[in-house]
Structure 1
Amino acid sequence: MRRHSELFDASRPLAERVAAAFAADGPLARATPGFRPRPGQTDFALAVAEAVVTHGTLLAEAGTGTGKSFAYLIPAILSGSVVVISTAGKPLQDQLFEKDIPALCAALGVNVPAAVLKGRANYVCLLRLERTEEEGMLPQRDSYRKLREIKRFASVSATGDRAELPTVPEDDPLWPLVTSTRENCLGKDKCPHWQECFVRAAREKAMQSQIVVVNHHLYLSSLALKNAAGGQIDGMLPQANLTVFDEAHQLPAIATDFFGTFFSTWQIDQISTEARYLGMNHARDGADWDKLSHAAFKAIADFRIAAQTLGLKEGDRRAVKTIEGFHTLAEPFGVMLQAFGGVVRALEANKGRNDELDALLVYAGEVDREMAGWESIFRQLRKEAEGGEAEDAEAGAAVEKLEASAASEKPEKPGVAPIDDFALRRQGGSVQWVSVSASGLRFNNTPLSFAKEFSEMRGAEGGAWVFTSATLSAAGDFSHFCAETGIADPKALTWESPFNYWEQGCFYLPKLPAPVNTLEHASRVVEAAWPLVEAAGGRTFFLCTSLAAVARVAEELEVKLDYAGRPYPLLVQGQMPKAALISEFRRHGNAILVGSMSFWEGVDVRGDALSLVVIDKLPFSPPDEPVYAARSEAIRRRGGSPFALQALPEAIISLKQGAGRLIRSETDRGVFMLCDARVAEKSYGRKVMQSLPDFYRTRSLEKARQFFLDPKAWHEALYVKP
């Protein structure tokens, strides 16, 4: 490849070289048909270059179509920096590694060592593949065929990345049997396949690369591993001069889960099952494995029955302190802990007899310790219920921290809160809560904030930091994101989308009653939206804020479609995996899709297939959601407003993501319909509207229908007051 030597001349300022790369006669323009400089993209790239040179922190909110990935990749490549790029999910990982980085390297005439690193569950484990084939205990009738495909794939693949084998679906139950976890990996000294291990190879390649693409969870794991070892080990990633968090708006939710702890009845069942299998095969005389595992299974079943009797049901997410009579579960919990303890003691007694048994012992010990912590919570709750005076040291310490964190300083920069103000309000304490699913109960201990830990990790890591997304602020105010992440004194910039939203889109706010009852409101939403659905010829997303709303909207649409003769296919969340639903939506070209919050982002449908996005209401978090409620109480104790400091910013950021599904290219057209009258009636509605794209706005159904039925007349009337 021809190298553009002047761009890599380190004697020239990095900003000068970056600007030259994006110039109208630069290498990108010469290598990319139809390329034209975008001021927002160039300014973004220059801001990244400045961060690299100054080792600064940049918050970069860039609207759809700005070209975020090229904006941070160009200065990264030209600077020669070691760069770690973290994304929220695999689609963007694959796009960066398979498309964007190779395209830029070709345009610049340079070979940059790059690697993509995913969680170990994404790579075939040769040992577990071998064991699964030997056992023959497969989950489905056609699993034998799929197992042969995986075996053939593993024998020829250079990466072992299961994404390269599309014939076995991503959610197939066979994958957990042929991939490893942190808990069951035998590691360098004990695994017979270590030299051929795909995870080992991927991590070694990452350590030797200039650009490494990972996901948020894996990045946090690497930082935590390094931090726990006091910097004595390298973690899984190279020391970066520049760290970029793309899709950074998802970082707080992912990090909160990462820094929390949990155990589940499913884990107890899984460990007991594994212990029985390994014990019978490698230490048959070491314990009565059948008896121990069955005792654990019975204790789990009894505990689940007791929880159901208490009123806990599938789908529940409830803080412990809100569950009336929760202390009555202390006895069946103790029985479950004792039964599981028997399995753990048997594993300890047979330590050293088998590598897999030893690995399972480490995992079982972690779960056992977490359960012991919850046993103390049960003891305390039972004592309180019996009239005793139990001391809650943890809660007391949390309150003291919250009080001590009070700060009177106001932000020095508009829209950015200093770390010693709002961020510190969110430090200290945790919330204990229980979630119930079809597979069992999960006991969660979630911190109210990860800001302090993340700030300390960033400080130890050093270098430049870029956090970017189309949605980082609420009407230009980055305070909430700074508070969540513990970022102090960043440079915060916003670049609007280059799309002409005023001509390409229409915002329609129907005259509906404010949403109160979810199901009644969902019915009103369908009734109000149906004329636009017909005018658009299907091609619609209904984005709902709850699964209950999804079900009701789908039910009402079925009635409408039956009456109309089924003119449009109806796709509903849960019918098939998300990726398959989106693929079907694109294939039909006139479909209606109904989904909940998982469809509000990470979905890219360009062209005519999507022309109408309907959102049922502002996506405020349920007030009884455990982590949200606990954080709200902490803010309230500090004297702040949970609505202003937490609920509204989070809802606006989510709403911006949902609205962003509509216009994905310079030629897209469509209507964005928000069925929430509070935007017009409440004082905070102004801030919501300021955060949305600059669509033409109307409350007239006829005007919105005209957008589809008579585009020419609609366009001619654009600059007439609506």
Structure 2
Amino acid sequence: MGNKFVVVDLETTGNSPRKGDRIIQIGAVIIEDGKIIGKYSSLVNPGKPIPAFIEELTGINDEMVSSAPAFSEIAGEIMELLDEAFFVAHNVLFDLGFLQDELQMAGYEGFYGSVLDTVELARILFPTADSYKLSDLAAREGLSHDRPHQADSDAYVTGELLLLFLDKLESFPTVTIKSLTKLSAGLKSDIYLLLEEILQQKEQVVEEYFRSIEVYRGIALRKKEVSETPEKQQVFLFPEEKEEQQKLLKKAIPSFEVRDGQLEMMNSIYHAFSDQRHALIEAGTGIGKTLAYLVPAVFYAKETQKRVVVSTYTTQLQQQLLIKDFPILRDVCGFPIKAILLKGRSHYINLARFEHTLREEDDNYDTTLTKMQILVWLLETNTGDFDELNLSSGGMLYWNKIKNVPVTFLQTKQWDSRDYYLRAQKEAEEADLIITNHSMLLMDLVSEETSIPSYEFAILDEAHQFEKVAGKYYGRALDYLSIRLMLNQFGQFDHGQFFHRLEKLIEKLDGRANIKVPTKKLNEAMINLQYETDELFKTVTIFAKRKKRQSSNNNKLQTMLTQTDNSTEWKALFAVAERFSFLLKDVINAIEDRLMFIENQKHRLTEVEKSFLEEISLLLKEMNKVRNKTREVFLFPSGQEIRWIETDLRSVQNMTTVYGRPVHVANHLRNDFFAKKKSIILTSATLTVNGSFQYIKNELGISEFSIIESQIQSPFHYKEQVQLIIPEDLPDIKTVPETEYIAAITEHIISIAEATGGRMLTLFTSHEMLKKTYELIKESGLLDDFALIAQGITAGSRSRLTRNFQRFEKAILFGTSSFWEGIDIPGEDLSCIVIVRLPFSPPDEPLAVAKRDLILQQGGNPFNELSLPEAVLRFKQGFGRLVRSSTDRGIIFVFDRRIITTSYGKAFLQSIPTVPIQRATIDEMINFINKWL
């Protein structure tokens, strides 16, 4: 490609040239004929002081730029450099905006040539990248980026990325380039110029044959990989002898250490399957749990020709199984294993729907970009699974148009041979192991359309979460935002475009006379429905606030939705829910009436019209679901259910959700799941309380089954690896005001952090207390050289916060509920955990209240049967974060003195491995830390 590209990066005193910010460094590389042929770099004197945070970010200070030229002195060189070139930058509008202002101030017209944005290019060409930050893209492609936030280094890496992008574009089949070119006019930068040139070149030569790509109905796809040749009939026998089992594991794992617990677990699972019994296996950290269940599962599947389902709580663990554990499993077994990761239908793309949307003229930027991302992704994906993609929020809306759902109007049969969902289903039918997650497993139990082929044997990893997830699937939730989103998809009601389009179709099919509700009336009904949605959730929020009269520090409000009184609040709520439900029914009937008429004549419709009708019928299904939930939650609730409202006091109705679910899902799980399956293995590091499985058995409804129970101890030497310290000089939270308690724990956290040098996870039970402690530490300025990372305050997901924590030498991670478990920080990255309070659920949490009431009605003790075991399991999870390998060492501080001052405190200590326990004042603690770490 003969173009000239100048890749530019600027460092500046701030983000806004309009507010007087100026350039302090410019870096550029020149690319011609697919090679970097020159570089340009200069510091620039901005004529004003460089702010401290910019100095920290870039390493450039006032002294360095004091003798540098002003921008006006180098403006001529810059103009010469950019002459007849593409101006390229990572987030081009930022750099170009700054440069234009500086050039104009220096008396030049500015740059008005073609521009390319490498962020936009990266989004299109790397549709599965986790992040589009320059440093992350460089790391992904193995480019060395030694000085991030220095203009010359950033420009060079951006140039190298551009060369990769150009190569990649030139490697695409002509049909993909054609489709991309057609879409590219709607982008922010001039990518269409590149694409048009590549297309011209490709059309002049005979296209080479792509071995891994096929073109079908005008779309280029990655060819399905042909699976291995079918194996000969082999005999697969599970090795019962310990020596044989060790030999197998040694063969695949060079660093294999004999772990008796691992072999014990393998045997327990194999025998549970063979005897067709359910099993509960608590597996301590470090026994090699994953292989311990995969090996017997795959041997049993091969021997009996019965598939085994493996279900995890998180999708991260699913990916880990597939990427990290399966290659080892194949080496261990030495025979071919068919394993598939199976997800719900809507995770997969529907290529027929995608083909239709490509024909639609779309001026929406997000949609255009997403279509281009998907065209590139189809050249690479084997699965067609949406989780591989990194889409914008607008892209997610577009995904709803092309996800795999049952269709009414569209003819999609022609794509069946290439359909990813059907392919996954077929592979699942033939698989030895099907990997899924608890959500999908439960959705399969409660929905009419099943995705998982029938099975009788399953392993549930992270099984302590299964009951919680089941509550969601046996319950229902109505939230304001998703209802509004659904209604908004009907477009501009006031302009009536959506229904006007429908009316035009009916006119085309001569059916005006059959329509009972005229379009004008339907538009009015939709406007009223919008209004009633707002009214319903406003009334719900008022109801919640009135019920909860005591002042609460927390912004999140949870209130039971009970009809015990005949209060005016309840009557108002019932009336508005009834109006909402009736109005929804009228709209549904009017649309169904139109669709029924059209469906009888669908052979007369064009493909674009059918595609439009498909969208309507999907929305109709959503509306029916919302109406059913409204009736079940507000109008005809079941006596067996608990209902509650969750809202955020800072917003009006936008953050309000109404929930309904059974108080206990135990009966449902027993009847729908455990009674129908031959053998379910439940495993986790936290299933027992005080050495007993009784609590988890009650929660899952399996107390009456004959169950194999096994507690396998961790091989770690906790006595040498862990110390547990309880501060003597902290006040009892019950006896002092909260502010005094927070001040005291803040002081302790600061002292501990200074002594341990960070690498510290601090676990709270209340977000409010976390926030106040974090703010007090910040305010003190005593830990200014530490990275303070706080859930709900520092932006990012749980895994991103964890990654950031690991990046810094001196860091403290503050977390609440979700950080008590499931985060894995091995080695020296974590050497200290502070547990601020024992993790009892808040006393007014609706579900806990309902469960407590039920236990009381049955003459039981809610504290011993519910609150305590739940808190102990969570405590065990928190404790388990510290030691992740046999070489880890660390200290756990428990600030809550109830662990030693109350009779129930013993239950916490007896549920974790035996470790040395000390009580100490702050000074004694510091001395001990210094010696021990």
- TM-score (ref. length: structure 1): 0.82
Q: Are the aligned partners of 1:40 and 1:66 in contact in 2 as well (CA < 8 Å)?
A: yes
Q: Does 1:538 align with 2:758?
A: yes
Q: What is the Cα deviation at residue 564 of structure 1?
A: 4.2
Change over 3 Å in CA distance of 1:85–1:335 after alignment to 2: same
Distance in 1, Cα, partners of 2:369 & 2:916: 54
The question of whether the paired residues in 2 share the 8 Å contact of 1:573 and 1:596 is answered with no
Match of 1:253 in 2: 468
The aligned counterpart of 1:326 is 570
Which amino acid is the alignment partner of residue 256 of structure 2?
Answer: F
- Structure 2: runs of 5 or more not aligned: 1-230, 492-496, 507-517, 549-554, 599-612
| Number of the residue aligned with 1:343 | 587
Query: Structure 1 residues 168 and 273, CA, compared in 2 at 3 Å: closer, same or farther?
Result: closer
CA contact (8 A) 2:345 2:451 kept: no
Q: What's the % identity of the aligned pairs? A: 27
- 1:78 maps onto 2:296 in alignment: no
Indicate how the Cα distance of structure 1 residues 280 and 198 shifts in structure 2: closer, same or farther if over 3 A, else same.
farther
Q: Which residue of 2 aligns with 1:385?
A: none
1:366 aligns with 2:625: yes
Structure 1 residues 21 and 190, CA gap change in structure 2 (3 angstroms): farther
C-alpha change, 1:564 and 1:94, in structure 2 (3 Å) is closer
Alpha-carbon offset, residue 44 of structure 1: 0.9
Partner of 1:164: 388
Equivalent pairs, count: 643
Q: How does 1:1-400 map to 2 (within 5 A)?
A: 9=235, 14=238, 16=240, 19-23=242-246, 26-79=247-300, 80=302, 81-126=306-351, 134=360, 136=362, 144-145=368-369, 147-165=371-389, 168=391, 172=393, 174-179=395-400, 185-186=406-407, 191=412, 194-225=416-447, 235-276=450-491, 279-283=499-503, 287-288=519-520, 290-310=523-543, 312=545, 315-321=556-562, 325-352=569-596, 353=598, 354-376=613-635, 394-395=638-639
Instruction: Give the conservation status (yes or no) of the 8 Å contact 2:295–2:333.
Output: no
Residue 628 (structure 1) shift: 1.2
| Pair 1:470-2:692 in alignment | no
Taking a change above 3 Å as real, the CA distance of residues 671 and 83 of structure 1, as seen in their structure-2 partners, is same
SS of equivalent residue, structure 1 residue 483: helix
Amino acid at match of 1:213: I
User: Does the 8 A contact of 1:568 with 1:591 survive in 2?
Assistant: yes
**Contact conserved, 1:185 with 1:359, CA < 8 A, in 2?**
no
Give the whole-Å Cα distance in 1 for the aligned partners of 2:407 and 2:292.
41
- Farther off after superposition, 440-449 or 79-88: 440-449
Q: Which amino acid aligns with 1:57?
A: H
State which drifts further: 564-573 or 72-81.
Answer: 564-573
Once the two structures are superposed, residues 493-514 of structure 1 have per-residue CA deviations (whole angstroms, 9 ceiling, x without a partner) of 1111111111111111123233
Aligned equivalents of 1:293, 1:273: Cα separation in 2: 10
Match in the other structure for 1:486: 701
Counterpart-to-counterpart distance in 1, 2:400 and 2:245: 43
* Displacement after TM superposition at 1:137 (Å): 7.5
Between the aligned partners of 1:565 and 1:262, the Cα distance in structure 2 is: 43
Q: Which moved more, 1:617-626 or 1:551-560?
A: 551-560
**Structure 1 residues 308 and 483 mapped into 2: Cα distance closer, same or farther (>3 Å)?**
closer
* Alpha-carbon distance change, 654 to 340 in structure 1, aligned in 2, over 3 angstroms: same
1:590 touches 1:609 (CA, 8 Å); kept in 2?
no
Distance verdict in 2 for CA 1:283–1:372, change over 3 Å? farther
**How many Å separate the matches in 2 of 1:28 and 1:666?**
19
Secondary structure in 2 matching 1:552: helix
Q: CA deviation at 1:446?
A: 0.7
Post-superposition shift, 1:485? 0.8
Report what 1:610 is aligned to.
830
Confirm or deny: 8 A CA contact 2:832 2:891 kept in the other structure.
yes
RMSD: 3.1
* Counterpart in the other structure of 2:809: 589
1-structure distance, mates of 2:370, 2:489: 23
- Structure 1's unaligned 5+ residue stretches are 378-391, 396-428, 715-722
Contact 1:242 1:464 in 2 (8 A): yes
Are the counterparts in 2 of residues 273 and 293 from structure 1 also a CA contact under 8 Å? Answer: no
3-state SS of paired residue (1:477): coil
1:126–1:178 Cα contact (<8 Å) kept:
no
**1:588–1:194 Cα change, 3 Å:** farther
**Quick one: distance in 2 between partners of 1:187 and 1:648?**
52
Give the letter aligned to residue 261 of structure 1.
R
TM-score (norm 2): 0.64
- Measured in 2, the distance between the counterparts of 1:297 and 1:135 equals 28
Partner of 1:174, secondary structure, is helix
Q: 1:679 is matched with which residue?
A: 899
Structure number with bigger Rg: 2
Structure 1 residue 132 displacement after superposition = 7.0
Instruction: Report the Cα offset of residue 116 of structure 1.
Output: 0.5
Cα deviation per residue 1:164-204 (whole Å; 9 max; x = unaligned)? 34x547xx453353157999653798546555443333233
Residues 84-111 of structure 1: CA distance to partner in whole angstroms, max 9, x if unpaired?
Answer: 0010010111111222122111232111
Please tell me whether the aligned partners of residues 123 and 179 of structure 1 are also in contact (alpha carbons under 8 angstroms).
no
Contact 2:790–2:814 (CA under 8 A) maintained in structure 1: yes
Letter of the structure 1 residue corresponding to residue 313 of structure 2? A
Inter-CA distance 374–573: structure 2 relative to 1 (3 Å threshold): closer
Question: Does the 8 A contact of 1:183 with 1:360 survive in 2?
Answer: no
Task: Kindly indicate whether the alpha-carbon contact (under 8 Å) linking 1:275 and 1:347 is maintained by their aligned counterparts in 2.
Answer: no
**Aligned partner of residue 240 in structure 2, secondary structure:** helix
Whole-Å Cα distance in 2 between the matches of residues 20 and 605 of structure 1? 33
